[in-house]
Amino acid sequence: MDRRKYLKSFTVGAIGTGALLQSCAPGEKTSQVAPLNHDRTPEEKAHYEKLMSEKFFTEHEMKTITVLSDYIIPKDETSGSASEAGVPDFIEFIVKDMPHHQVPMRGGLKWLDLRCNKEFGKPFVEGSGEQQTAMLDQIAYPDQAKPGVEQGVAFFNLMRDLTACGFFSSKMGIKDLGYMGNTPNQWDGVPDEVLKQYGLSYDQRTLDISVKFDS
Amino acid sequence: MADFQIKKNPKKYDVCIIGSGAGGGMAAYMMAQAGIKTVLLEAGPMYDPKKNVTQMKWPWESPRRGASTAHRNFGDFDAAYGGWSLEGEPYTHKDGTKFDWFRSRMLGGRTNHWGRISLRFGPKDFKRKSIDGMGDDWPIGYEDVAPYYDRVDKLIGVFGSKENLPNDPDSIFLPPPKPRLHELIIKDAATSIGIPVIPSRLSILTKALPDNKDRGACFYCAQCNRGCQVYGDFSSSSVLVNPAINSTHVDVIANAMVREVLTNDEGLATGVSYVDKTDMQEYTVQARVVILAASACESARLLMNSKSARHPNGISNSSNIVGKYLHDSTGAAMGGILPKLIGRKRYNEDGVGGMHVYTPWWLDNKNLDFKRGYHIEYWGGMGMPGYGFGFGMQGLNGKYPGRDGKMKPAGGYGALLKDDYRYFYGATFGMSGRGEAIAREDNYCEIDPKVVDKFGIPVLRFHYKWSEEEVKQARHMKQTFAEIIDKMGGVVTWGNDGAEKDYGLEAPGRIIHEVGTTRMGDDPKRSVVNRYNQAHECKNLFVVDGGPFVSQADKNPTWTILALSMRASEYIIEEMKKQNI
pLDDT, tens digit, 9 for 90 and up, residues B427-446: 999 999 999 999 999 999 99
pLDDT at A8: 55
Question: A21 with A80, same domain?
Answer: yes
Question: A99 with A49, same domain?
Answer: yes
- Residue A61's pLDDT band, with cuts at 50, 70 and 90, is very high
**Which has the closest alpha carbon to B293: B75, B42, B498?**
B42
User: Which residues 6+ apart lie within 8 Å of B243 measured at CB?
Assistant: B29, B32, B214
A82-A84-A85-A88 Cα dihedral, nearest 10 degrees: 60
- Are B389 and A165 inside 8 Å of each other by CB? yes
User: Which residues 6+ apart lie within 8 Å of B378 measured at CB?
Assistant: B182, B183, B186, B355, B357, B358, B359, B429, B430, B431
Express each pLDDT in B186-204 by its tens digit: 999 999 999 999 999 999 9
Task: For chain B, give the mean pLDDT.
Answer: 97
Alpha helices in B97-174 (DSSP H): 128-132, 142-156
Minimal-distance CA residue of chain A relative to B45 = A41
Considering its fold, how many domains does chain A have in total? 2
- Domain span including residue A202: 185-215
Chain A partners within 8 Å of B427 (Cβ): none
The rounded distance, in Å, linking the Cα atoms of B471 and B468 is 5
**Which has the closest alpha carbon to B44: B95, B100, B86?**
B86
Question: A190 with A136, same domain?
Answer: no
pLDDT at A138: 98
Question: A55 with A108, same domain?
Answer: yes
pLDDT at B109: 98
The rounded distance, in Å, linking the Cα atoms of B119 and B123 is 13
Tell me which of B159, B198, B389 to substitute to probe the interface with A (most A C-beta atoms closer than 10 Å). Answer: B389
Q: Which of A95-109, B391-405, B461-475 has the lowest mean pLDDT?
A: B391-405
Question: A172 with A89, same domain?
Answer: yes
Yes or no: say if A173 and A179 are a contact pair by the CB < 8 Å rule.
no
pLDDT at A26: 42
Q: Tell me how far CA of residue B335 lies from CA of A164, B67, B331, B381, B494, in angstroms.
A: 21, 21, 14, 12, 5
Q: How many residues does chain A have?
A: 215
User: Looking at the predicted structure, is the pLDDT value of residue B342 above 50?
Assistant: yes
User: Looking at the predicted structure, is the pLDDT value of residue A27 above 60?
Assistant: no
pLDDT at B211: 87
B563-B564-B568-B570 Cα dihedral, nearest 10 degrees: 20
Chain B partners within 8 Å of A93 (Cβ): 63-64
Express each pLDDT in A125-146 by its tens digit: 999 999 999 999 999 999 999 9
Q: Does B157 touch chain A (CB under 8 A)?
A: no
Express each pLDDT in B291-311 by its tens digit: 999 999 999 999 999 999 999
What amino acid occupies position B182? H
Q: How many residues does chain B have?
A: 581
> Is the ipTM above a cut-off of 0.90?
yes
CA distance to partner chain A, nearest, from residue B414 (Å): 5
Yes or no: say if B243 and B38 are a contact pair by the CB < 8 Å rule.
no
SS3 of residue B302 by DSSP: helix
Question: A192 with A119, same domain?
Answer: no
User: Looking at the predicted structure, is the pLDDT value of residue A39 above 80?
Assistant: yes
Alpha helices in B16-169 (DSSP H): 22-33, 128-132, 142-156
- Are B385 and A165 inside 8 Å of each other by CB? yes
What's the pTM value of the predicted model, to 2 decimals?
A: 0.95
- List residues bridging with B415 in a β-sheet: none
User: Looking at the predicted structure, is the pLDDT value of residue A30 above 60?
Assistant: no
Give B 237-266 residues with CB within 8 A of chain A.
Answer: none
- List residues bridging with B336 in a β-sheet: B429, B492
Write the secondary structure of B510-534 as one string of H (helix), E (strand) and C (coil): CCCCCECCCCECCCCCCCCECCCCE
CA distance to partner chain A, nearest, from residue B348 (Å): 5
Chain A partners within 8 Å of B184 (Cβ): 190, 195, 200, 202
- List residues bridging with B431 in a β-sheet: B334, B378
**Which has the closest alpha carbon to B263: B323, B322, B305, B324?**
B305
Q: Tell me how far CA of residue B110 lies from CA of B106, B135, B359, B444, B559, in angstroms.
A: 8, 27, 24, 21, 13
Question: A195 with A151, same domain?
Answer: no
Express each pLDDT in B5-59 by its tens digit: 889 988 999 999 999 999 999 999 999 999 999 999 999 999 999 999 999 999 9
User: Looking at the predicted structure, is the pLDDT value of residue B351 above 90?
Assistant: yes
Strands B269-276 and B281-292: antiparallel
- List residues bridging with B542 in a β-sheet: B291, B534
Yes or no: say if B356 and B349 are a contact pair by the CB < 8 Å rule.
no
What amino acid occupies position B208? A
Express each pLDDT in B226-266 by its tens digit: 999 999 999 999 999 999 999 999 999 999 999 999 999 99
The rounded distance, in Å, linking the Cα atoms of A110 and A104 is 10
Chain A partners within 8 Å of B384 (Cβ): 174, 179, 181-182
SS3 of residue B238 by DSSP: helix
- Are A165 and B388 inside 8 Å of each other by CB? yes
Question: A46 with A141, same domain?
Answer: yes
Yes or no: say if A51 and A34 are a contact pair by the CB < 8 Å rule.
no
Nearest to B180 among A38, A177, A190 (CB): A190
- Are B421 and A177 inside 8 Å of each other by CB? yes
Q: How many CB atoms lie within 10 A of CB A199?
A: 6
How does DSSP classify residue B341?
A: G
Express each pLDDT in A179-210 by its tens digit: 999 999 999 999 999 999 999 999 999 999 99
- Residue A6's pLDDT band, with cuts at 50, 70 and 90, is low
User: Looking at the predicted structure, is the pLDDT value of residue A25 above 80?
Assistant: no
Nearest to B410 among A143, A178, A194 (CB): A143
Question: A169 with A199, same domain?
Answer: no
The distance of Cα B412 from the centroid of its chain, to the nearest Å, equals 42
Question: A203 with A138, same domain?
Answer: no
The rounded distance, in Å, linking the Cα atoms of B338 and B60 is 28
Yes or no: say if B186 and B320 are a contact pair by the CB < 8 Å rule.
no
pLDDT at A13: 41
Question: A142 with A60, same domain?
Answer: yes
pLDDT at B4: 73
Q: What is the mean pLDDT of residues B508-531?
A: 98
Question: A56 with A146, same domain?
Answer: yes
